[in-house]
Structure 1
Amino acid sequence: MTNRLKARTRSWTGLSCAAALVGGLWAGTGPVSSAHAASRGVSEGLKAADEEVRGLEGRMNRLAREYGQRRGLIGADEAVRRYEDGVYTYLIEDYERAALSFYTLVESEALTTEALHQDSQWYLAECLFQLENWNTALAAYDEIIQTGDRHPYLSEAVRRSLEIYGILRNNDRFYSIYRTYVLSGRVPASDGVKYTVAKSFYRQGEWGRAKAMFTELPAKSRWFAQARYFNGTILAAEGAFEAALSEFRRVDAVKGADARLRDLVQLAIGRIHYELGNYREAVESYQRVPSSSPYFADQLYEITWTYIKQQQWQEAIDSVEIFTVAFPDHPYTVRMRLVEGHLHRKSEQFERALATYERVVDEYGPVREKLSDLEGDRHSPTSFFDRLVKDESLEVDGVVLPDYAVELLVQNDGLRRAVAVRQQLDVQADTLDNSESVISDVGSVLGSSKEQVGTFARGRAGLQRVRDDSLALRIRLLEVEFDHLESGASAAVRSTVGQKRVELDVLVRQAQQAQGEAAVRSNRYQAYADQVATVQSEAGRVSMMANEVTAELSALERQFKDKAGSLTPDARELVDAEIIALRQRLDAT
């Protein structure tokens, strides 16, 4: 059909040239002004027609790309549009929506351009990383790694994999990737790779190796500030406070550093000065952390103790009052209220000290009593554990425990791990329920016999619109020809042309009616297309959730085997049964 359009273009171009020639002959036989006006009108009409021909040819080419280069239900142009939408949602940090877009593109292989397909693989992996879906992210990065050297994101995929294995404390896989790709030289040891490896060494407690690699990064590296911050942290933990202070000052001097990193550096400098007894310098550093910082609570807490060390009681009291007002449910608040009473006593404000102590007793006494009752009740712990798992408010005899009390209760590592394991199991059970429901909905839609949910019917409607517009263009060309014939013809010719115009008007009305019907069909097929996009999105969500559940369940099984010794026999039996049930449901799905 594209070739036929090209043939029509050539014929219309020839007609335009013929019209120009006719206009020139007319200029030599008739009145100059009339002939010139007629010729100009015909030329302008043919020029407009030529532009419309080019537009029609462009539309035909797009239809050819959309339906001639097609994999499944997503055409080439549609795939590019979805790719651009995915990039936008990624840039605005809507990682879940972006992940679904890129997952659909990667799994369907709809992008016919290899570079865009490879970009989609990378964006998908990065979205999963930002969502902290570690195991599914690893699977996405592994897809890139398995492609080999021809994938442009190989080195970044290796770097991210090393980072995730460091986070998961999976030392075996970490060293396997490290030896296979970094030590072998297959992936260049870039600054990003060095930083990631060094940070993983830090997490593993290999501080010597971590410091050596952090120090290798040059001052111009984008990872320099973060690397030096970790170096300072290691030195401080080793008791080398002066050397640590030097490192933190070096980070503080870096221009354009991340705001959160700057706040952490100021806290670190304040802590070093506190340890060295430089309390005034510590206060100055702490005060550089703004109230908008996520670390403002730490700033207030630590600066209070700095004031206390200098016996600046009123300044310490002011800081405590700000803390208790700004963070009433913080785990530090109980201690800060007691400190406030001690400070009033130190400053000889005994009535205020007594009032503060009485308020602490009135506020926290009932909580302490209920926790004691909870400890002695054999049935409450089960209910307490279930509520922790569901993240619900905890009540004991109608008294709701405040958040700080709950936080103190789950500080026990064994209890925290048990709650985390149970929460993961519950999340995966909910995910499987949702997956089964969505699979049923998607199956019913895909089972529809309506032209594959209207996808190719919409394409035929688009082709019909091109044909209708082509017919309209032919009509306009006829009108141009009629104008040309009437401009200098005899009365008999003009009469015949008038009759032909009447016949043409009838044809135009019929064409308009046909175009109206085509528009109705186009709207219906657009609705079908919207259903296709919804189905594909839901199918992608189901598939991604299933992959995530599979990966998380396997990781959970490994964690359970590693940490089963820290759980009670009843808890082990419960978790084991939950895992088996989830595995059976997942296999059935």
Structure 2
Amino acid sequence: MRSCLATFFVVLLLSGGAIGQDLALDVVDLKSPEEYSAMVQRAEKLRLEGDAASAMSLLAAVLQDGADNEAYYRAAEFTMGKALFALELYQGAYTWFERIAEAGDGHPHYIETIDWLLQIQRAVPGDAASLERLADFDPMLYPPAYANEIRYLVGSYYYASDELEQAIESLESVESGNEQAYLKAQYLLGVIHTRKDAAQPALEAFKNILRYQRDVSNNDFVTEIAKKATLALGRVFYTAQQFDTAARYYDQIEQTDPAWLDSLFEISWAYFRTQNYDRALGNLHTLNSPYFANEYFPESYVLEAVILLSNCHHVQALQTVDRFVATYKPLKDELEVQLKQTQTPNEFYRYLAQLSKQGAEAELSPQLKRVINAALRDAKLRRLLSYVLQLNRENEKLDGMVKTMPDGAQKRFALGVLSDLTAYRELIVTDAGKAAKSRLDRVYQELTGLITDALRVRVETLKAQRELLKIEQTLTAEQVAAMRPGARQPPPTDIEHEYWPFDGEYWRDELGAYTFLIADRCLKQGAQPTPAPSPAPATIPESE
């Protein structure tokens, strides 16, 4: 940029200090404000005609050589942001809109920038920077057509930043006129209130979604978010120890839903807490079927062992614990080795990227691959990883453009944008690597805790087994039989159900419908201890 006004200006750079030696000439063709303004208008016309690359070339000359206190320069900043957006160089576009936002309401395009920050967020949902900038604007300035959408996005930004009260304030202002923004806001409000241990407002927020589905609309989007709300209601009621109510909501999740296996496992805990052991074991039987061999539900073994212990099936409980430890102790050790091999977040991201490229050829056990895949399903982490891929695409595209540009203002400008983009990508890679490593660290800690729980169940099982044997040794066989409850009978059937004994073969239409009859072998007098590791309340994930 230049602040002097002239039509032609030559700067003489003395290469050695002595007069008469070779001179390097830097020729700068300065124009009048009217000429620069015409260039900006021409650039905007080119952008609207679909030639954003030529528009960028014109604007680069204005922004490098023009005076930054002139009106045309402010217009050039705004138009450059729009041109880069049209070229799908979203991070470059954000840089210019950020400058305008930082300038405040003194910039003539300050309010218009809100709309473009929103468009960047739509194009790149993992971009936290545009969310942060949107949060800086006074809500009174939001364009009315997009106000509800922006309020939801700002609320999600505050939620991610752990500023929960500000998040609630922004989300509660979202009106039902914008269906998607309203329903996503209600879901996130339910998540926030759950985090705050405020069950009643959490239930109300999730039920608002179901009421909307019942009374207003039931299109595909509404149906999908209503499914998430139903599962969340099951989790909230479970946390409130209203297990029968929780089971009713869990039961509404259909087999075709991606969350069906999660609901099947979680309802098993609800059945256990209500001593409906037959249904709990039947669900675990489904989870352990060959259809779901690639799924990751290690806690199912611990629950199975606890149920067996509760019914004094000591030998089978010990076998279940041993099977769990034999499977997951080596997995924990392998995961520990992998986590220790990478020290920095950037290294860990590149480690995951390498695993992704290797695919089936990666030198990892099938169990560890399942763990990593399960961990990387985290919605926030997936958005970060997707954002890195978007930045990679922008980097490759801009690098290709630079290679075809002749030397000049446009190339110098593009090289500057490319440099900024590369540096920003490294920051996002660091964030993604940190989030991924944190997620797998959490999986490692959870697995360590489950192994500890399983070994505790083993100790309690051995203790209960010894105590039961001591009691039985003092009784006759008839007395022992009299003190044991009778065998359970198969569940009653109706016109839509039929009882069919399991013969070792799984059928898809039977999944989720199994009932595992387990006889209570405990004596009525001198009840056996049945320690159950209390599961942590299920986490309600942020809506994607």
Relative to the length of structure 2, the TM-score reads 0.47
Structure in which a larger fraction of residues adopt helix: 1
Higher relative contact order (CA 8 A, sep 6+): 2
Relative to the length of structure 1, the TM-score reads 0.44
Structure having the higher Rg? 1
